[in-house]
Structure 1
Amino acid sequence: MSPFKSSTGLYENVAGFLCYLFAFVGGVVFLAVERRSRFVLFHALQSVMLFAGLMVAHALAGFLPIIGIVVSLLLTILGLTLWVILMAASLQGKWFKLPWIGDLAEKQLQRM
């Protein structure tokens, strides 16, 4: 357990975990309510960006004849894998940063 609590009253690692557990929605909720913890805000931003990107990619894959099914399946496997890894990392209190998306989340966090 992280000894630090977020402004929501939850431990930082639990709040970070919830950002991923409820995917896009969890990230949006914590972006709206978190006021202090940079750890929670980072994971909320990364969750929103990752799962929004996956939703858009799934929608675009639907327009690809035949190969769209394969692309959609690969996106689902990727999404589930990242979902589990990110939940575990945040619960352990790690600042696990994804390539590209993590950098964007970090830059956005610096502007906040």
Structure 2
Amino acid sequence: MSPFKSSTGLPENLAAALCYLFPMVGGILFLSLEKRSRYVMFHALQSLFAYGILGMAHVLAGAVPIIGLLASALLALLGVLMWLILIFNALQGKWFKLPWIGPFAEQQIQRL
């Protein structure tokens, strides 16, 4: 467990994992509640961006006949794998960054 607490009163690593445990909702919740932990804010933003993009990709895949069904199944598998990896790394206290999304989320945190 992290010795540092977020402004929500939870340990930082637990708060960061909750951002991923409840995709979109967790990110929005912790982004609005967190006031001081850059670690939690980073994971909240990365969660929002990652699952927002994944959701849009599902919608686009659904608009393509036949191949869209396969693409949607692959996206679902990717989403579950990403979910497990992100939760695991957040609980360990790692600043795990997804390609393209992680650096973008980090840039947005530095602007705050």
Q: What is the TM-score normalised by the length of structure 1?
A: 0.99
- The alpha carbon displacement at 1:15 in A equals 0.1
SS in 2 for 1:65: coil
User: Kindly, what percent of the aligned residue pairs are identical?
Assistant: 62
Does residue 47 of the first structure (1) align with residue 52 of the second (2)?
no
Partner in structure 1 of residue 19 of structure 2: 19
- The alpha carbon displacement at 1:34 in A equals 0.1
Q: Which runs of 4+ in 1 moved over 6 A?
A: none
SS in 1 for 2:24: helix
- The alpha carbon displacement at 1:76 in A equals 0.4
Structure 2: distance between partners of 1:111 and 1:25? 23
**Which segments of 5 or more consecutive residues in structure 1 lack a partner in the other structure?**
none
Partner in structure 2 of residue 3 of structure 1: 3
Structure 1: distance between partners of 2:106 and 2:70? 32
Partner in structure 1 of residue 71 of structure 2: 71
- The alpha carbon displacement at 1:65 in A equals 0.8
Q: What is the TM-score normalised by the length of structure 2?
A: 0.99
Partner in structure 2 of residue 37 of structure 1: 37
Structure 2: distance between partners of 1:108 and 1:53? 16
Does residue 28 of the first structure (1) align with residue 19 of the second (2)?
no
RMSD: 0.4
**Which segments of 5 or more consecutive residues in structure 2 lack a partner in the other structure?**
none
Structure 1: distance between partners of 2:38 and 2:95? 10
